[in-house]
């Protein structure tokens, strides 16, 4: 199989990975739970493989694209919160689930959204260039949005440490290694061959992420599934409406198609793997169900992304 054939068949590969992960997680839950330790390394490998495909010299130009940054901020920090507020009102009687849902829906993704944007024919370089901006703005606004939307529960303490750790491990470290690899390829045939081999890795690495995340967490979701039922329509509603808000933001700023796809993916993709430690740091009476709510969003989103990577390039032209 050639690299082009591998990328052409990526959607059935991902579906197969999801089904295998669900089966493994359900049938061998005790063993599968240990895969949780591999989630961060697997995402880091995915990001390294993705970063190797990106010409980093163009990133300064991306940060100078003010219309793109404005559309990204409009979609993620104005339009999406305006969507999250009404669709989560049905969860007021379930405070732990509400906190988990707000944590994940109010924070735009800063890691594997780059991969999905690339696969979905968006401008992954611009998305990558904007990740520090997205991180800093969500750190500043998340406490404010939580205070407004949680009401009486707004005294729950939220630490920024998991955000910073995730940014370093999942963005900075793979990016630095990719830059060093790219620079070394100019002087060494061995490093050049190494980079060529890694050009095959984005699809297998994404399949690995799907396996370790879903297999390690599916048992938790199934255990509390009856209590999590109220949040599933919220996530489905977000899945359907958030891409439209991203597209609307891009249209308002008159972005070209590839940039519009990037904003669409950013609006629809959430920071689920980064905010999971935040949910686990909540008070004892809330952390279990809040974390399960975050994990449920992860599972819904991973399936949604398989639809987005096929639908967004066709719709956003």
The residue extents of the domains of the chain are 3-312
User: CA-to-CA distance for 298 and 104, rounded, in angstroms?
Assistant: 9
pTM (predicted TM-score): 0.81
User: CA-to-CA distance for 154 and 98, rounded, in angstroms?
Assistant: 11
What b/e string do you get for 270-286 counting C-beta neighbours within 10 Å, with b at 16 or more? bbbbbbbbbbebbeeeb
Dihedral sign from CA coordinates of 172, 309, 80, 272: negative
Average pLDDT of the residues of the chain: 87
- Report the C-alpha dihedral over residues 267, 129, 134, 132, rounded to 10 degrees: 160
Vertex 153, ends 148 and 159: CA angle to 5°?
85
Residue 65 pLDDT: 87
For residue range 119-150, list pLDDT tens digits in order.
899 998 889 888 888 888 988 898 889 888 98
Of residues 104, 124, 69, the one with CA closest to residue 234: 104
For residue range 265-312, list pLDDT tens digits in order.
999 999 887 787 778 777 777 888 888 899 899 889 988 998 999 999
Structural element, H or E, at residue 70: helix 66-74
Whether CATH 1.20.1530.20 fits 3-312: yes
């Amino acid at each position: 199989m050639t690299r082009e054939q591998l990328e052409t068949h990526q959607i059935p590969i991902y579906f197969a990975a999801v089904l295998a992960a669900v089966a493994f997680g359900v049938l061998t839950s005790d063993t599968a739970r240990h895969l949780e330790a591999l989630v961060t390394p697997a995402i880091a490998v995915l990001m390294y493989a993705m970063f190797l495909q990106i010409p980093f010299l163009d990133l300064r130009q991306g940060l100078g694209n003010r219309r793109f940054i404005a559309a990204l901020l409009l979609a993620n920090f104005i339009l999406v919160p305006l969507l999250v507020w009404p669709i989560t009102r049905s969860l007021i009687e379930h405070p732990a689930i509400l906190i988990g849902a707000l944590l994940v829906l109010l924070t735009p993704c800063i890691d594997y959204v780059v991969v999905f944007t690339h696969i979905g024919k968006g401008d992954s370089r611009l998305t990558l260039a904007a990740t520090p901006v997205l991180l800093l703005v969500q750190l500043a606004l998340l406490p404010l949005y939580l205070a407004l939307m949680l009401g009486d529960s707004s005294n729950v303490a939220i630490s920024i440490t998991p955000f910073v750790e995730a940014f370093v491990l999942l963005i900075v470290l793979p990016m630095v290694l990719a830059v060093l690899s790219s620079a070394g390829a100019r002087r060494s045939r061995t490093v050049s061959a190494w980079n060529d081999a890694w050009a095959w890795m984005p699809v297998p690495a994404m399949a690995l992420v799907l396996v370790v995340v879903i297999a390690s967490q599916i048992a938790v979701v199934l255990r509390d599934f009856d209590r999590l039922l109220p949040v599933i329509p919220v996530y489905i509603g977000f899945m359907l409406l958030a891409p439209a808000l991203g597209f609307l933001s891009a249209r308002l700023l008159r972005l070209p198609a590839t940039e519009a796809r990037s904003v669409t993916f950013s609006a629809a993709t959430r920071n689920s793997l980064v905010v999971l430690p935040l949910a686990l740091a909540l008070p004892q009476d809330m952390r279990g169900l809040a974390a399960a709510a975050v994990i449920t969003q992860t599972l819904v989103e991973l399936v949604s992304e398989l639809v987005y990577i096929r639908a967004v390039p066709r719709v956003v032209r």
